[in-house]
Chain A
Amino acid sequence: MQRRWYTAGAIIAGFAMLATACTGGAGSTAGGGGTTKGEIIIASDQPTSGGDASDGLPAQNGIQFAVESAGSIKGFKLTFKGWDDTVNGTHDPQKGAQNIQEMISDAKILGMIGPNNSNVARAMIPIANRASFTMISAANTNECLTQTFAYCEADTGTTPAKLRPNGVNNYFRVAAADTFQGPAAADFVVDTLKLTKVAVWSDNETFGKGVADKFTAEITKKGGTVVLRQDFDTKTTNDWKPFLTDAKNKGAQAVYAGATSGTKICIPRAQMKGILDAPRSASRTRPTTPRTSTAPSPRRTRTRTLTPRRPSTRSRSASPRRKTSARTPSRRWTARTSLSTRSAGPSTLTAATCRAASRSAPRLRRQRASRARPAPTRSTRTETPPRPRWRSSKPRAHPLTGYSLSSSGSAASRHT
């Protein structure tokens, strides 16, 4: 009997500790100067637990870092408070709606950064709109959140106008919508890389399938062919080798992946080694060796050949890139590729999570670096033209379109 009491006591003590830890971790304060007028809280809503945490946690760290670095504004102290929209290990619109109601009820909260997922945004926007509460998402890409298309009503059950009952917009985003991401990668493959045969796979989720479909449509329009198209359940798939072998057999020159780091984009990337090896680019035709060694030299070539850099990227990422270039070739490749995915979404660093240890949020490192050493050579104007090699005859699709093709052509892309 006594032992039972001990057990019960231990369990209660454990819960108590857990509760303390949770309340302690939820909000944290920043010590900024000149905080006379009061406090402003910047909230965030990200999936910070469960399987989605690989996207949500770095994002939340980045937001917290930015808020705490700013410290104060016009005499108000800036504080960060994070919400988690995960239920049962995955992002949940209901939880998102509940979170935003909590945020709105706190008068100190000025606005929020998030959410990570478009379906969560769909639930949150109307609630926030009625309260004129500002939302800025770094990762939502569903086009129907901001743009009106004929299919929006049928596909998503709502339209941008319905999402904003108030009539005044309260929702902003910095990531490019699906309608730009997929086609932009297709333009890049056809116009710049001069490749026509592509194998496409997706993670069968709203975002992944969406961009993969739009990529397919665009590449077909441009006269290229999709030699193989598959959708995977990435929760249970670990082996992409049959797909890659099939792609190779069907003459694929590149592989486009509609997926994210959270849906295992790194695994097929690693498995391409030995199956689909070298980049096959017309501008730099290199014979494909059946089994290249892991020697650093081809990898360096690869980076130069295949990593597109958006104009706006170059200015921001110049200094950290230089910083990392002193490391080993593989690391350097990582840093470059990841940085070239543009700055907006903290959850976009696919190539980085593929190779380097990805525990700390890469965004933090990058911000620190760029803050400490502003790019010495590049102008900070966003209109800086890209290197001539990248200049295609057509103008680029959209100023917001950020994308990257990692060495064998899989797209590192932003989230829904």
Chain B
Amino acid sequence: MVGSLKQARIAFVGAPIGRLVNLLVILAVLYAIFILATKIFAQGPSYFLQILTFGVANGAIYALVALGYTMVYGIIELINFAHGDLFTLGGFISVFLLPIFGLDASKAGTPGIILPLLAVFIVTMLICGAINVTIERVAYRPLRHAPRLAPLITAVGMSFVLEGVMFLWKGPFNVPYPNLLPTNGIVIGGATIGVKDIFVIVVAAILMIVLALFVSRSTLGKAMRATAQDQDATELMGIDINRTIAATFFIGAVLAGAGGTIFGLYYNTLVFDLGFSAGLFAFTAAVFGGIGNIQGAALGGLLIGLITALWDGYMESTWTQVIIFAILILVLVFRPTGLLGMRVPEK
């Protein structure tokens, strides 16, 4: 906090030409916050609570995808553009698995869906993990020591490959996803918090806690952190780098697969090029929170979900993306490493 204030002061006072611009930007931000606050006050608390619920549920999905971006970036400094499409692929795989596990719309909301749904989740996550490990092995590992642009462009290409596969598999249409979760909800203070919203938030929270524990406590997690810090030194210590990186890709894809399934269950629709926009926002979330930082990605996702919901609910939704990216730019001006970012050493 102190650091950011100091940076703000430097940016504000330090540059004589930038002073006026900074002043204008800060005034604009204050004005926007003021308008938003008046509107929030005018519309009442129950509406605000309702919007917050939507925001948190949305943010949870963004956060799950953002984690994959941030983990891969943290360990090999690659922005894996194919990650968003892996998320979509997770949704497609789960929609394919649902009938195999005997789930269809007729069983919606019954307690009998819990176990099969859990199985669908696990199988989807494993398949996604396997696919991502294969992608890493085939497309990224041969380019590990190539100039950094090469794996980046390969990732973009991989993203198109995955989109193409999904296009051929399910066609260009919106794929209907059965509405399995109960549609009722709990009314708290005038706001209806749906079972779906709770489900999304709880599942995402469980996955993120498990991930945090895994990275901080397990041996493999320790190896990952070591690899992220210094690959050569880690290798000298006898840690198999390839295995560690593959594990990172696996875990990122597992979360993306879960995210895709949750997205399907929540919105009941999927489309083959969903990964492009979802990936863009998740990547933004990762940068927002500080790319390479796991807690940062979760926070960034949550914030983007909240900003989207608040702006959609109170202001013009046409401007939602402008606002998200404006906030991102502001955050990066004052904190170039993101909200919780750690400085990643430039190689």
Contacts of A356 in B (CB 8 A): 176
Any A CB within 8 A of the CB of B179: yes
Establish whether residues A51 and B268, one from each chain, have CB atoms under 8 Å apart when the complex forms.
Answer: no
The winner among B184, B314, B317, B318 for most chain A CB atoms within 10 A is B317
Any A CB within 8 A of the CB of B277: yes
Instruction: Render A252-289 as a binary contact track against B, CB cut-off 8 A, 1 for contact.
Output: 00000000010010110011011000000000000000
Q: Given A230-B317, A291-B184, is A239 in contact with B58 using a C-beta cutoff of 8 Å?
A: yes
Measured CA separation A109–B167 after assembly (Å): 30
Q: Given A236-B277, A249-B43, is A54 in contact with B173 using a C-beta cutoff of 8 Å?
A: yes
Number of interface residues of B (CB under 8 A): 43
Give the segment of B151-159, B245-253, B305-313 that binds chain A: B305-313
Q: Which of A131-183 contact B (CB under 8 A)?
A: none
Supply 25 A–B pairs (Cβ within 8 Å), ascending by A. Answer: A50-B273, A57-B172, A230-B312, A235-B276, A236-B277, A236-B321, A238-B263, A239-B267, A239-B309, A239-B312, A240-B312, A241-B54, A242-B309, A245-B54, A245-B313, A246-B47, A267-B267, A271-B267, A290-B192, A291-B184, A294-B108, A353-B174, A355-B176, A357-B176, A359-B170
Establish whether residues B171 and A242, one from each chain, have CB atoms under 8 Å apart when the complex forms.
Answer: no
The winner among A242, A245, A261, A294 for most chain B CB atoms within 10 A is A242
Beyond A243-B317, A267-B174, 9 extra complex contacts between A and B, CB < 8 Å: A233-B320, A236-B280, A245-B47, A245-B50, A246-B313, A267-B269, A271-B267, A291-B183, A294-B183
Binding site for A on B (CB under 8 A): 43, 47, 50-51, 54, 58, 105, 108, 167, 170-174, 176, 179, 183-185, 192, 194, 263, 267-269, 271, 273, 276-278, 280-281, 308-310, 312-314, 316-318, 320-321
Establish whether residues A294 and B179, one from each chain, have CB atoms under 8 Å apart when the complex forms.
Answer: yes
Establish whether residues A274 and B316, one from each chain, have CB atoms under 8 Å apart when the complex forms.
Answer: no
Contacts of B267 in A (CB 8 A): 238-239, 267, 270-271
Establish whether residues B172 and A273, one from each chain, have CB atoms under 8 Å apart when the complex forms.
Answer: no
Contacts of B185 in A (CB 8 A): 274, 291
The winner among A237, A245, A357 for most chain B CB atoms within 10 A is A245
Establish whether residues B183 and A273, one from each chain, have CB atoms under 8 Å apart when the complex forms.
Answer: yes
Establish whether residues B174 and A261, one from each chain, have CB atoms under 8 Å apart when the complex forms.
Answer: yes
Contacts of A236 in B (CB 8 A): 277, 280-281, 321
Q: Given A231-B318, A232-B318, A293-B183, is A242 in contact with B174 using a C-beta cutoff of 8 Å?
A: no
Any B CB within 8 A of the CB of A53: yes
Q: Given A239-B309, A242-B309, A270-B268, is A51 in contact with B172 using a C-beta cutoff of 8 Å?
A: yes
Measured CA separation A187–B225 after assembly (Å): 64
